[in-house]
């Protein structure tokens, strides 16, 4: 067991070895001489604050946080912890990356449930400040302590763990979504609205259109529930309990997102007539009553998306006569180019018509898609790459087909989309005789990376 005077002994050793006086070390560390004397000479020693510990550590020429492990042992593990001192220590551990110290302290705190509220609040503070790895440790502590209670704290902790887990790996994202989903109904309404939007992104990326439609219906229903609540004089929506609901985004955004996702799900399932009806619902959201210029802009944005998706339905139904009009629309709405091109090329592959002029028109935009790295756009880039591969091969443009296929392979590997990876690999194998040495080398490298990943996956 570490002595309660460990930090004091470290200081005494340093002062002796450096030939310092109490006064000279106090000046060197920037600590009051009387405070330093009380820490070293008083019995029991005066308790050190985290700020004082940081100054002493720096004064001794040690790396930041070097004495935190001893501090945790002395102040919080061998002694009864006081939250007024513990919270600043946990926050400093987060800032300095001393996660092992946080783990030690939390392990001890699990036996004392009286601090769960403070632990949750500190986890939220860490999360908001960007210390996600540290906040995960605290959220896990809350989850372990509250696992038998259907509390808001438990639900929010699971929600935060879900948010932290989201990345480019679609398989990992889906696992995180499935783990979180059962807790979403316990979230406060403002969190639940955001959680549904984030879940929709995951199910869009993995093409689970049934679940995507179900969640979009849930988002629409919840938006209607909030809309029916009255507005008080402060301008904030209030729940039936009279508590203010401070939405992260406007109701226009949630309604629009719900109807947009509903229409997308129906379109992906080939229900074009029903999809058209859903599109009409977000084509004009002015009935919600935009309260400022930003919300008026949102209404216009959903109006533009509705127009784009009406073009999408027409193109998917093979209406080639509107292609030029659609291409002009995309030219005036750069944010729609990626999704629109993927749809146009998909239709060209289904109905076997040429779109070389459209591809040529958007050459610069296609080359710029590499910067689109969020979950939704990664899926769109992947869909575009595989559709372009099919199109080029069918039109005997083998070099372009190989390049698009390699792009699809690379994206599907990065996002861990095994279905599209297999599709891309089989397509490339069918035309591999047209690949050059550099393309073959790139292909072998990606295949080896996937072999290693798959071997590790099934070995573990």
Q: What is the 3-state secondary structure (H, E, C) of 343-387?
A: HHHHHHHHHCCCCHHHHHHCHHHHHHHHHCCCHHHHHHHHHHHHH
**Terminus-to-terminus CA distance in the chain, angstroms?**
37
Dihedral sign of CA atoms 271, 276, 279, 280 in order: negative
Residue 455: per-residue pLDDT:
82
Residue 79: per-residue pLDDT: 67
Predicted TM-score of the model (pTM) = 0.85
Of 144, 132, 261, the residue nearest 193 (C-alpha): 261
**pLDDT at 3 (0 to 100):** 42
**CA–CA gap between residue 121 and residue 160 (Å, rounded):** 13
**CA 283/CA 25 separation, integer angstroms:** 71
pLDDT digits 0-9 by tens, 60-95: 999 999 999 888 888 777 666 678 888 999 999 999
pLDDT value for 15: 92
DSSP 162-189: HHHH-SS-HHHHHHHHHHHGGGGGGS-H
Give the pair of three-digit tokens for residue 268.
């992906």
- The residue ranges of every structural domain in the chain are 188-317, 321-460
What pLDDT is attached to residue 100?
94
- Cβ atoms 323, 358 nearer than 8 A: yes
The whole-number pLDDT of residue 234 equals: 46
Q: 372-383 pLDDT, tens per residue?
A: 888 888 889 999
Cβ–Cβ < 8 Å for 51, 89 = no
Assigned CATH class of 188-317: mainly alpha
Which of the residues in the chain have pLDDT under 50? Answer: 1-4, 232-235
């Amino acid at each position: 067991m570490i002595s309660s005077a460990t930090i004091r002994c470290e200081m005494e050793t340093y002062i002796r070895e450096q030939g310092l006086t109490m006064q000279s070390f106090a000046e060197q560390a920037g600590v009051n001489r009387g405070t330093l004397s009380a820490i070293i000479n008083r019995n029991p020693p005066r308790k050190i604050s985290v700020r004082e510990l940081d100054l002493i550590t720096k004064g001794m020429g040690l790396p930041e946080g070097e004495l935190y492990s001893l501090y945790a042992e002395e102040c919080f593990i061998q002694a009864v912890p006081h939250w007024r001192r513990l919270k600043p220590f946990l926050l400093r551990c987060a800032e300095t990356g001393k996660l092992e110290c946080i783990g030690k302290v939390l392990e001890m705190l699990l036996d004392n449930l009286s601090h769960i509220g403070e632990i949750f609040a500190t986890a939220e503070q860490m999360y908001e400040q960007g210390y996600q790895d540290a906040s995960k440790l605290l959220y896990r502590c809350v989850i372990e302590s509250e696992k038998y209670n259907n509390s808001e704290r438990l639900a929010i902790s699971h929600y935060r763990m879900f948010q932290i887990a989201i990345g480019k790996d679609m398989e990992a994202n889906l696992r995180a979504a499935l783990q979180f989903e059962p807790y979403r109904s316990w979230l406060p309404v403002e969190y639940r609205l955001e959680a549904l939007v984030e879940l929709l992104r995951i199910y869009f990326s993995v093409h689970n259109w049934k679940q995507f439609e179900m969640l979009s219906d849930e988002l629409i229903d919840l938006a209607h529930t909030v809309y029916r609540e009255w507005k008080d004089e402060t301008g904030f929506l209030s729940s039936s309990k009279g508590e203010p609901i401070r939405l992260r985004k406007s109701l226009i955004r949630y309604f629009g997102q719900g109807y947009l996702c509903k229409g997308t799900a129906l379109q992906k399932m080939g229900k074009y007539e029903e999809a058209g009806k859903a599109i009409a619902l977000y084509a004009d959201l002015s009935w919600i009553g935009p309260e400022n210029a930003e919300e008026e802009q949102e209404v216009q944005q959903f109006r533009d998306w509705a127009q784009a998706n009406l073009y999408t339905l027409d193109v998917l139904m093979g209406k080639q006569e509107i292609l030029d009009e659609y291409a002009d629309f995309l030219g005036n709405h750069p944010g729609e180019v990626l999704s629109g091109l993927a749809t146009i090329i998909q239709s060209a592959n289904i109905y076997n018509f040429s779109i070389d002029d459209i591809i040529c028109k958007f050459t610069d935009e296609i080359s710029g898609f590499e910067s689109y790295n969020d979950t939704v756009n990664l899926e769109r880039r992947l869909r575009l790459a595989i559709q372009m591969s099919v199109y080029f091969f069918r039109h005997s443009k083998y070099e372009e087909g190989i390049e698009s296929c390699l792009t699809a392979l690379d994206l599907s590997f990065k996002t861990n989309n095994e279905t599209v990876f297999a599709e891309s690999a089989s397509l490339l194998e069918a035309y591999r005789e047209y690949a050059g040495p550099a393309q073959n080398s790139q292909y072998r490298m990606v295949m080896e990376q996937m072999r290693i990943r798959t071997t590790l996956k099934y070995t573990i």
